[in-house]
């Protein structure tokens, strides 16, 4: 069934048949950081938006920003720059729509995601810090924040991850889709 975005697309297409919504575009690129998203976002939005349609922008970015580089003793995108990038992303999105949603980050299985002696490390403490930055930007800008991290941490989330300990498996994508769908319904972005 694909990832959580494809599942959202299929759900939305069912609603479109009932006269609700139209399209879902997955524009995620593996390995992208907030800087990469920022650099291509306006072009992508301009190509796909119809102002009178009332588009909803769903933005999921940050886990790659939070990666800890041991040899540099720093995150790939430092926290202050990440927050600034999110502010710019928000400002760009607001040029095209007032309906903006940020999807929070997902936890990792550090043991599987970080082989012994890793130089590029995924650590839940940084993922949580960057998730909180996303949340604070959403609060400041009165945007919807879907806290996937907190929801997944309520369960045995490691069962929702691929063998790499980083990416969601099929069950993980299903659970993320459910969290996103339920938030959309709760916030009246789509009808149940």
- Report yes or no on 192 lying in a domain: no
d(CA 134, CA 37): 14
What's the CATH code of the domain at 124?
3.40.50.1110
Q: What is the pLDDT of residue 67?
A: 97
**Domain that includes residue 170, residue range:** 4-185
- Report yes or no on 140 lying in a domain: yes
Q: How far is CA 22 from CA 14, 17, 82, in A?
A: 9, 8, 31
d(CA 126, CA 70): 13
- Report yes or no on 191 lying in a domain: no
User: What's the chain's average pLDDT?
Assistant: 89
Mean pLDDT on 88-104: 90
Number of domains in the chain: 1
| Predicted confidence band of residue 55 (pLDDT cuts 50, 70, 90) | confident
Mean pLDDT on 166-185: 95
| Number of alpha carbons in the 13 Å side-chain half-sphere of residue 35 | 11
| Predicted confidence band of residue 52 (pLDDT cuts 50, 70, 90) | low
- Report yes or no on 29 lying in a domain: yes
């Amino acid at each position: 069934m694909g990832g959580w975005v494809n599942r959202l697309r299929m759900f939305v297409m069912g609603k479109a048949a009932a006269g609700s919504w139209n399209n879902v575009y997955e524009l995620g690129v593996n390995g992208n950081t907030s800087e990469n998203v920022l650099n291509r976002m306006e072009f992508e939005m301009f190509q796909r938006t119809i102002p009178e349609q009332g588009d909803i922008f769903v933005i999921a970015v940050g886990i790659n920003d939070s990666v800890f580089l041991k040899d540099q003793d720093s995150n790939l995108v430092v926290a202050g720059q990440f927050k600034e990038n999110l502010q710019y992303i928000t400002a760009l999105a607001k040029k095209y729509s007032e309906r903006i949603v940020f999807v929070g980050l997902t936890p990792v299985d550090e043991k599987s995601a970080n082989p012994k002696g890793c130089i590029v490390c995924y650590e839940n403490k940084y993922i949580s810090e960057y998730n909180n930055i996303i949340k604070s930007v959403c609060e400041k800008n009165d945007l919807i924040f879907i806290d996937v991290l907190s929801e997944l941490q309520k369960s045995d989330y490691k069962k929702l991850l691929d063998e790499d300990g980083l990416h969601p498996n099929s069950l993980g994508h299903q659970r993320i889709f459910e969290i996103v769908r339920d938030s959309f319904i709760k916030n009246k972005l789509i009808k149940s």
